[in-house]
Amino acid sequence: MIIVMKPKTEKEKIEKIKNKMVSLGCGIHESKGENYHLIGLVGDTSRIDRSQIQANRSVEKVIIVQEPYKKANRLFHPQETVVKIGNKEIGGNRFSVIAGPCSVESEEQIVGIAEEIKKSGASFLRGGAYKPRTSPYSFQGLRDEGLELLKIAREKTDLPIVTELMSPHKIEKFVEDVDVIQIGARNMQNFDLLKEIGKTDKPILLKRGMSATIEELLMAAEYIMSEGNEKVILCERGIRTFEKYTRNTLDLSAIPVIKKYSHLPVIVDPSHAGGLWWLVEPLAKAALVAGADGLMVEVHNDPANAKCDGEQSIKPERFKSLMDKLKKLGKIENREV
């Protein structure tokens, strides 16, 4: 339920309504703009008499929210959310690009790639330190050493780092060392993990599960936001369908649908979606046109010998070519790349 206050309502009257709602057991989520003031009610609203609220002379109207997600709902927050990471942003008119290798393999590799992608216009460095793999015998990442190498690359390039958190036991270390915490597709519905990162103040990149609906993705975001952390960035990375040619099927329609129902920024991962290096460019360009707020692209200096996902990684020179094309496309779409 959302209470829409009349413009220029006195602060005392607003506080009175808020206190009343809290006394009835509801959580409060406020959203303010130049010409609006919304009081979103979170929790059990069954005891609230809608007509009684509507009778208040300071209330413009009361809106019933049908969707199960509240804080992630655009009705609660009409303006687009822009997530700030240091002096950079994801959301708004900016089309931000996160790039880097699937996994950190050495200092020379991660620093070299970081320097190359920065020259080409990337805003963030991605790299896996702790790798979730389908097979327990596959390369699992350099783990703590990989995280230290990411920090070295950040120090040398000033690119904020994005890396995946696998376990709640590492949260304190990630909060201290990482700029954006990634929650991978396999952990999208690890609700205990979502609640724990919701207690932090770190930006969270939440990837859509391989078989998750859009509503399930937004509900996963709601788990994080319900604990107080509203710095959530959604990531469409393709879903599992009957098609076997590509690694996953990129759901481009998810971008405008999410934009319609949620205020959260959404980026696209064309590398995991297609699973083939030559599909990255067309999928990336399509994502920009469809309204995404950015990309996460896998870039490797030697894909043929990469320890994981080499077949979907592009080389730094191809990444530069992609960025040049995205910048031209951005001008047409009135987006800053």
Instruction: Tell me the domain boundaries of the chain.
Output: 2-63, 83-332
Share above pLDDT 90 across residues of the chain, in percent, rounded to a whole number: 79
CATH of 83-332, one of 3.30.70.890, 3.20.20.70, 3.40.1050.10, 3.40.50.1980: 3.20.20.70
> Is residue 73 a contact partner of residue 315, using CB atoms and an 8 Å limit?
no
Q: How far apart are CA 280 and CA 240, in angstroms?
A: 18
The yes-or-no answer to whether 2-63 and 83-332 have a common fold is no
Q: Which residue has the higher pLDDT, 246 or 49?
A: 246
What is the pLDDT at residue 137?
A: 64
> Is residue 160 a contact partner of residue 124, using CB atoms and an 8 Å limit?
yes
**Which tokens in the block code for residue 89?**
């942003």
Q: Which residue has the higher pLDDT, 288 or 37?
A: 288
What is the pLDDT at residue 195?
A: 97
Predicted confidence (pLDDT) per residue in 93-123, tens digit? 999 999 999 999 999 999 999 999 999 999 9
Over residues 12-18, the mean pLDDT reads 91
Phi, psi angles (nearest 5°) of residue 89 = -140, 155
What is the pLDDT at residue 31?
A: 87
What is the pLDDT at residue 45?
A: 83
Q: What integer best gives the mean pLDDT of the chain?
A: 93
SS3 call for 10: coil
Cα 36 from chain centroid (whole Å): 26
Over residues 241-248, the mean pLDDT reads 96
Nearest to 288 by CA among 238, 244, 242, 322: 322
Estimate the crossing angle of helix 214-226 against helix 254-261, to 10 degrees: 40
Q: How far apart are CA 138 and CA 310, in angstroms?
A: 14
Superfamily of domain 2-63: Phospho-2-dehydro-3-deoxyheptonate aldolase; domain 1 (3.30.70.1140)
What is the pLDDT at residue 127?
A: 94
Which residues touch 115 (CB under 8 Å, ≥6 apart)? Answer: 156, 157
Q: Which residue has the higher pLDDT, 27 or 199?
A: 199
Cα 209 from chain centroid (whole Å): 13
pLDDT for residue 220 is more than 90: yes
Tokens 């604990």 locate to 227
**Which tokens in the block code for residue 249?**
């099927």
> Is residue 215 a contact partner of residue 68, using CB atoms and an 8 Å limit?
yes
Question: What is the 8-class DSSP label of residue 135?
Answer: S
pLDDT band at 133; cut points 50, 70, 90: low
Exposure class string for 288-324: b at 16+ Cβ within 10 A, else e: bebebbbbbbbbbbebeebbbbbbbbbbbebbbebbe
Radius of gyration for the alpha carbons in the chain, expressed in angstroms and rounded: 21
